Structure 1
């Protein structure tokens, strides 16, 4: 008896209703749309598409069919969604710049790396590739489960057998509700090698797997500029980020000119949008080093960049482009996939490989059982044939005379129902003597195959050996030739390139002039005569430093602070210049000790008035702010005395007590900041002068006009902080002035 529910209203809390419905939507998005399966690496739309193409017999050796036909079958039988979204998914599987190993072979316009759309599906045609065929291999052998389609009229596979490691080979990307996935493509030859290592050594670490599978391999090539430690952490945790840079080279031109040619761009970067981005930045004058960009691409990418001046360093020009444009991009790695239990989770490289191997192991077992069942059935039929072949006349009599021929055959020859049916269904022309020999031959072959299948199912080692052989075949088929060749190069992380001087377009020689009262300016050219320079009344020349307009200059002050100024920003010309105290925060009680161009890898010896010193790398003294950076720590009433280039292997110090000491420079600590250590021991007084000495070439000290060989200093060798020996007359005759 039915209950009349007309007018019945059931109250439900809005929060409960929304929660229930949103949870159902979220689960549908996660399970049936956005996240790939760890076993075959496919989302439902891709899996259904490949299966539909198989049903249409679109094998690699078959002819093409219209994409509209494929899309129609997919949405009509398996995937009840819009035709536009399904066609977009099909197009992407055919684009060799979007998919490392395409699953669809397209005929017609399937778009381009410029971002052009594919032609309408009524104009394009498609069929499966050998890779897609490998994903389907064995699907008719009960290797995977099937389920009813959305309308219950058809059956579709829950997962594909996946002889090809599709998840890692082609990667995946998707955004679900509350979670996302982003897996880069890899080289299938390397994946297979790593998988075979995992079979041989189930406890292999991610680091060991990465020896064979060092990193992603993008279809568009490019350079992966991340260190091994970063990649290792990403593959161990399943989350990380890696940088991809365009591949470029310098092409020389006529009369000393040159241009940069880009032949590979980062993955998922559209070339046309990249050119538009660069052109917009040039129009906004945010790329002052770049003169022009041209697209000379045909099938292969060729972007030509022309500098504004041939004095520009190519590395500096490219660094500005890498920082401002998509010529360098980041790929976020997030290996969030659905497991065999349909539960999403972030997995490490080893877990993803192991899940694929476990799936292949299950597929092998199911295929072997299915084949064993077929062999047993056929052997049973053949046994029945052999049982009656010696009594064909009796069989013919029973068929002609008995009312129930099947029951009589079973009783007369002790046959099973299957054997009796097979005999009754046999064609008359098969009833000949020669057929018996063929039956016995087939029986022997199947008996041997049955023994092999039984041994395979009983031995775990034999099964893994068979899987290893199958993986070798996949590596041979897809890991060699142009398709299998690695495209992305794993490069070392780029060294730091100073682009703070991009406004100084022209690289030209400059000479910095610092006056006695602290006025600074630059003059074009080198070899400047200080006597020819003009200074304010009462002022005079202090020091000159030759540099380039693209250099950064370090000013080291008596309070132990270092300041960095760009040579291009300093006042130029024949005028008086500008007080250094207006450019940096330096009090009237402090002064500049030394000025030098910052050079990567170079070191300087910093010495305090108390006779302590330490070695500091130039890059550790860089401080592009007005307040500078405290490098040499000082005690009360102390000051920084010297800043000497550490271009040698020994240090010479002389005290006010006229004693001299020479010791190896490696006895000094190298620090980014510190108080320093004692250079020489004094009972009274402190340090008077010091220099850095090269045992190969000597040093121009104390007289800058004369180079003293190392032999002149050999008698004064000792250990750091020794008292030293009385200095020779030539060493005390002239004292180096401060600064």
Structure 2
């Protein structure tokens, strides 16, 4: 018999159960998710408003400055060394995450003023990735040192790193608003940021204006900051009001497009060659050129003949387009703006971390003025702390110098005490007993070299003492006056502008420059026939001798053949009351079955096409005013399965629609549209039901609606009956043709079934049979060979 296995635990089972704590799963999940979200927001994804940096960026720069001494005038070091020291000492994440952040800090097409000087392949505007960290080297740029230089003056708070072995700055003592100057982007949990770069000169001037005008509005600040200034230029074509609103609310959209010019050959512009020399921010030129190549290869833009990328270090970005002679250049550029990344909307989101009263940070979406004020307040505190540190150092030195002056007056006694002492400690005790010195002064005197006790040296000490006291007094006066402190902030901003300021790269345009894209400018006009089947398949064919000759899928039949031109629209009316309008050119030309209309529009389940009409003025009247009607014609007559009828204008459906279409009929529960036709010259209408009931009434009895509605009752039907369709009567010879349940064709004329009022039960035409279907008029085909082109 097998022995019972004993528990290996040394703790009794009763004690183990005592350590179990039951908690609510939902509350614990919520608590842990909030902790995670807060960590991502404050420690990873969002920048600090004061230095404009995320934690990983701040740690990279601090390692390069404080640990590796990779200043502007130093030699470069391997990027692997920089990323390794960053992850090992301050940022416990993956090397690749740190290196990717470092690469972005070195890219002159990402940052307006790069903070790292990279040696080697740090990526390109074409979209090529950077080389591995072991192949590249880096050091700080000169402007990056303006973010770090004051860190040794105790200008910012320090905190311990992740393992408590060293200290790191909470924020860098930035001398310029880096959050606006270089911008940033990031996605946190439940929030994101996307701050565009700006021009340093404009931002510094705006800061100086706010110093003297603290109540200034965004509109006033925008006299200095015209808008974003992207590294590769481009042109902003958003109106000033929209930009101002985005800056006021901290959120909005700015439309940016690339710039082009005609190529010059011997100083003469060539209208057949276009040079693209700037593209929108964040767009890779390689993908852009590939998109242009696809347009040429697929002949989507007939005016564009060829594309070549001539970008190099000497010429910068240069993409050359060969244009067909005589082409409309505005139409070409409008197409590129619409179908490529040559025009982009930059989604501005000024969300960042802002200091709170507890010494931490909280996320907030700020306006442009609020960001500048947050930086200026931080800069004021930083300069105050810098002066306090300088004053502290001066006072320490003054204190020592006063001791040296004091000891010189009793030099002989002091030397005798030192000679007779048994050591440094004994000499210090005796000197403090003999002279009014403290320990700091005493040890400073004992460390003096003998030559410094000469008359000449004491004169130098007295001179230094006078200088230090004058400097200390100057600093005390500055610290005592907020006005003087703000003056220092303003002066240093001006010095920074003089040193690093440059002109705008991104030009400012206006909305009037936007050329509306007109798709018809790229469509070759030609006559065509659009074939629609009952199962919803569509195609275009040039000429059609007879309806039976066109190919359809097995079991399907042709619903209609619509003559039109490729520039006109086709309106499809579905049984659920939705109308879809698309350009005829979008329907595929095919000698086969074509393709489902559902590829172009969003048809509901079980919905079928009832009718299709062209907007071609040769076959459909243009809009006209008709006396007594509230809306212009021509008009549609609509009938539903439950006997409702509508009279609505066609004009509402002439323009192209979205895939969702437009509503032309509002249906009751269980109802559907069974008939849609243009009224034309018709004056009366027949309605026929499945139970062989017919009603004949005047179209004037149906009121005209200006938009979609439920209509009025055309025929009163029993619960088991339903309307099969309608027939419009324009001539006395017109008849209603139906196929009855005996498969017999029945024709009903207007003489026998005269006009009555609408809404009644109609006439029961047969007691022995019912109606199977209405026979529509024969499809008339157009002979394009004999028809005059219009």
When the two structures are superposed, what TM-score results if normalisation uses the length of structure 1?
A: 0.68
**TM-fit CA distance, 1:298:** 1.3
| Cα distance change of structure 1 residues 255 and 112 upon mapping to structure 2, 3 Å threshold | closer
Q: What is the CA-CA distance between 1:275 and the residue it aligns to?
A: 1.6
Residues 46 and 192 in structure 2, CA contact (< 8 A), matched pair in contact too: yes
Alignment gaps of 5+ in structure 2: 1-10, 527-564, 570-580, 587-614, 628-651, 658-790
Q: Could you tell me which residue of structure 2 aligns to residue 487 of structure 1?
A: 505
Determine whether 1:290 maps to 2:304: yes
Query: 1:288·1:502 contact (CA, 8 Å) conserved in 2?
Result: no
Q: Structure 2 vs 1, CA of residues 497 and 312 (structure 1 numbering), >3 Å: closer, same or farther?
A: farther
The residue correspondences of 1:186-205 to structure 2 (distance < 5 A) are 186-205=198-217
Shift in CA distance, 97/255, structure 1 to aligned 2, threshold 3 Å: closer
Distance across 1 between alignment mates of 2:354 and 2:449: 50
Match of 1:271 in 2: 285
Q: Helix, strand or coil for the counterpart of 1:140?
A: helix
Whether 1:212 and 2:234 are equivalent positions in the alignment is no
Does the 8 Å contact 2:262/2:270 carry over to 1?
no
1:131, 1:164 within 8 Å by CA — same for their partners in 2?
no
Given that 2:183 and 2:195 are in contact with CA atoms closer than 8 Å, whether structure 1 keeps it comes out as: yes
CA offset at residue 303 of structure 1? 0.9
Q: Runs in 1 of length 4+ with deviation above 6 angstroms?
A: 252-256, 549-553, 564-569, 587-590
In structure 2, what is the equivalent of residue 77 of structure 1? Answer: 89
Match of 1:242, SS state, is strand
State whether structure 2 residue 438 is matched by structure 1 residue 416: yes
When the two chains are superposed, the root-mean-square deviation of aligned CA atoms in Å is 3.2
Matched, 1:582 2:582: no
- Structure-2-length-normalised TM-score: 0.64
CA contact (8 A) 2:59 2:86 kept: yes
Q: How far did residue 164 of structure 1 move? A: 2.3
Conserved 8 A contact 1:256-1:310: no
Question: Do the aligned partners of residues 160 and 392 (structure 1) sit closer, same or farther apart at CA in structure 2, a change above 3 Å counting?
Answer: same
The correspondence for 2:274, drawn from 245, 248, 260, is 260
CA contact (8 A) 2:236 2:509 kept: yes
Select the residue among 240, 258, 261 that pairs with 1:246: 258
Q: Give the match's secondary structure for 1:502.
A: helix
Task: Name the structure 1 match of 2:609.
Answer: none
1:383 corresponds in structure 2 to 402
1:249–1:17: structure 2 CA closer, same or farther, 3 Å change rule? same
Aligned: 1:171 with 2:183: yes
Q: 1:461 to 1:252 in 2, by over 3 A?
A: closer
Distance across 1 between alignment mates of 2:78 and 2:319 = 35
For the pair 1:452 / 2:474, whether they are aligned, the reply is yes
Q: Please state how far the C-alpha of 1:585 moved relative to its aligned partner.
A: 5.4
| Other-structure match for 2:53 | 42
The match for 1:712 is none
- For residues 256 and 408 of structure 1, the distance between their equivalents in structure 2, rounded to whole angstroms, comes to 94
Quote the residue 1:323 is aligned against: 338
1:422-501 pair list within 5 angstroms: 422-479=444-501, 484-493=502-511, 494-497=513-516, 499-501=518-520
Secondary structure of 2:321's aligned partner: strand
Q: Provide the residue aligned with 1:53 in structure 2.
A: 64
CA contact (8 A) 1:252 1:258 kept: no
- Cα shift at 1:295: 1.0
Between the two proteins, the alignment pairs up a number of residues equal to: 534
Sort the Cα spacing of 1:286 and 1:13 in 2 relative to 1 into closer, same or farther, 3 A.
Answer: farther
CA separation in 2, counterparts of 1:153 and 1:72? 16
- 8 A Cα contact 1:550 1:566, kept in partner: yes
Aligned: 1:405 with 2:427: yes
Q: Secondary structure at the match of 1:174?
A: strand
2:345 maps to 1:334: no
Structure 2 residue 143 is the aligned partner of structure 1 residue 135: no
Find 1:355's aligned residue among 374, 395, 400. Answer: 374
The worse-fitting range, judged by mean Cα deviation, of 424-433 and 470-479 is 424-433
Alignment partners' CA distance in 2, 1:305 and 1:552: 31
* SS of the residue 2:521 aligns to: coil
Encode CA deviations 1:621-669: one digit per residue, 9 max, x unaligned. 997479xxxxxxxxxxxxxxxxxxxxxxxxxxxxxxxxxxxxxxxxxxx
- In the superposition, relative to structure 1, how do residues 583 and 311 fare at CA in structure 2: closer, same or farther (>3 Å)? farther
Q: 1:540 is matched with which residue?
A: none
Q: CA deviation at 1:280?
A: 2.9
Q: For residue 565 of structure 1, report the CA deviation from its aligned partner.
A: 14
Q: Distance in 1 between matches of 2:169 and 2:519?
A: 58
